[in-house]
Structure 1
Amino acid sequence: MPMKRSTALLVTAGATALAVSVSVPLVRSLNDTDSPARETGAPAERTLAPAPSGTPAKDFVLSLPLAAYSLTREQQVLLDRAQIRLQETCVRRLSSSDLPPREVPDASAAVEPSRRYGIVDMESAKRYGYQSPDTPSSTASLPRPNETQAMLLSGRTSAGKALKTYKGHAVPEGGCNAESRDAIYKDHDKEPGIAVAQQIDIDSYKRSLQDSRVSAAFSDWSRCMKRAGYTYESPMKVADDPEFADANYSKRERSVAVADVTCKFEVRLPQTWIAVESAIQKKMIERRQSALTHLSESQKLMVQRARRVLAEK
């Protein structure tokens, strides 16, 4: 059954990549001058390229500048598959047994659009209201290793004690899971750019909420919702309505969600919001370019290592 998910703050596509995580992923505002008043107050008006007029909900893609410093879905699938390959090799080396075959869902598998700006997917609104659709696969559905293999993967016995050797073989610290991850990620988790990207993700979202154009779009959306018979101040308020908190979505919830998405695109709220936040992120990225570039280089090295692992017979 679909479960409730509040509006995401982190960039969905980058959550996993940034926290490695994602999250995307996953998952980071600065104005045109450095004056303290500007830094702590609402962003001043900026001239933005107008958002495409009349973009229908089905064609809207939420992609912010920071996504350039996140792993793509294809890259994350590559990393996951390489780790599985290494886990299999490690367990076979230690126990002469084969792990049950496991497969990472292909990157082309359907994924619900990000809810950073609230629900924007009309089909999801019609079917699930504000609940998250069921995911096509999960860790729970993967074939489970036997007890010995589970110990080798985790590096711990069933009693929780560190497993240092098995049948005369030294078990890597943290087990085969840690060994396989270290082989792909190396020191990536220590990259300063991860924290930089996460902070930009958070701060740019907060700053965008302070922009007068976004506030005006919220007001337009609220008036549109009022005409539809629903009284809400903002998209965040409706998504967090206690009435829609449980997974048993009702006909009313679906009706409100459909009106929500309809009004968002009628007043061009997503297009306005993404234009505003994109401008904010670009400024922030310029100021932390060195750390973010280093983050990208580290991600490229991870992908290269994963490709080499998967290329081996």
Structure 2
Amino acid sequence: MAGFDLPDPVRPPDLTDRRYGLSNLSEAARFGYGLPDEAIPSDRVQMKELSESERKALGSDGDQEGCIGIGTARVTGSALAATATSPVAVKIQKDTWLASSEDGRVRASISDWSKCMKSGGFEMSTPLESPKAGISESEEKRIATSSIKCSSSVGLPRVWFDVEAELQVLAISKESAKLEAEKGELRRQLDKADSIAKMAGGLDGGN
């Protein structure tokens, strides 16, 4: 933007970003293995530091007197209860990723990826591996882009995604009752938060 020292825009991450290794070629060419946010100099984004009284008013998770705890209690019924969580879904996500990483189809594709990287002069065993510390920025970017090109050439992201999706379908079917219960609770929390927001809006409008 003219007149403003702003970084080039980056796309928002999707649900599989870096789940199977680097995946965006243009971002790898710009940032290497770093995340876009990490590539923005800290002096460009100044966050206001809260005063002691502001921190006390805001509070924290589990604080029954701070704004966070009060808001949580109004939505969930307790300042100690987490909002918008789905433990079963999170566990399925973690478990299926770990199981998929050990699947023979994925291991074979990772081996092909490693051979591809070796042909380019890079000794790496998995796309989740980061390059050794101390290399130049240009070399890091070269490794990052090579990783993505090799993943694409051997079809690793698709293989891994399909295997994990297969495992997730089975896990979701097995835990369907628990997931439905969690979904219902999340919906109740959203409805409660929505009603609180509307009530607060009505009060503000009346002032």
2:69 to 178, 192, 214: 178
Q: 1:233 to 1:145 in 2, by over 3 A?
A: closer
1:220 to 112, 118, 135: 112
Whether 2:133 is the aligned partner of 1:243: answer yes
Whether 2:144 is the aligned partner of 1:257: answer yes
Match of 1:154 in 2: 59
TM-score by length of structure 2 reads 0.75
Query: Aligned AA for 2:55?
Result: A
Q: For 2:107 and 2:51, locate their aligned partners in 1 and report how far apart those are by CA, in whole Å.
A: 55
Match of 1:103 in 2: none
Q: For 1:189 and 1:291, locate their aligned partners in 2 and report how far apart those are by CA, in whole Å.
A: 17
| 1:190 CA displacement | 9.1
Which structure dedicates a bigger proportion of its chain to helix? 2
Q: For 2:76 and 2:11, locate their aligned partners in 1 and report how far apart those are by CA, in whole Å.
A: 27
Q: What runs of 5+ residues in structure 2 fail to find an aligned partner?
A: 1-9, 203-207
Q: Which secondary structure state, in structure 2, belongs to the residue aligned with residue 263 of structure 1?
A: helix
Q: What runs of 5+ residues in structure 1 fail to find an aligned partner?
A: 1-108, 156-171
2:117 touches 2:147 (CA, 8 Å); kept in 1?
A: yes
Whether 2:23 is the aligned partner of 1:120: answer yes
Q: Which secondary structure state, in structure 1, belongs to the residue aligned with residue 12 of structure 2?
A: coil
* Aligned residues between the structures: 181
Query: Aligned AA for 1:126?
Result: A
Query: Aligned AA for 1:194?
Result: S
What pairs with 1:138-217 in structure 2 (closer than 5 Å)? 141-154=46-59, 173-186=64-77, 189=82, 194-217=86-109
1:134 to 31, 37, 50: 37
Q: For 1:225 and 1:120, locate their aligned partners in 2 and report how far apart those are by CA, in whole Å.
A: 15
Q: Please list the CA deviations of residues 221-254 of structure 1 after superposition, one character each: whole Å capped at 9, or x if unmatched.
A: 11221222212121123x2x3327xxx8611000
Q: Which secondary structure state, in structure 2, belongs to the residue aligned with residue 243 of structure 1?
A: coil
| 1:183 CA displacement | 1.8
1:305 to 179, 192, 199: 192
| 1:270 CA displacement | 0.5
| 1:127 CA displacement | 1.0
1:208 touches 1:276 (CA, 8 Å); kept in 2?
A: yes
Match of 1:61 in 2: none
Q: For 1:253 and 1:290, locate their aligned partners in 2 and report how far apart those are by CA, in whole Å.
A: 46
Relative contact order: is structure 1 or structure 2 higher (C-alpha 8 Å, sep ≥ 6)? 1
What is the Cα-based RMSD across aligned positions, in Å? 2.9
| 1:184 CA displacement | 2.5
Q: For 2:64 and 2:153, locate their aligned partners in 1 and report how far apart those are by CA, in whole Å.
A: 56
Match of 2:153 in 1: 266
Q: Which secondary structure state, in structure 1, belongs to the residue aligned with residue 105 of structure 2?
A: helix
TM-score by length of structure 1 reads 0.51
| 1:143 CA displacement | 4.3
Q: For 1:271 and 1:224, locate their aligned partners in 2 and report how far apart those are by CA, in whole Å.
A: 17
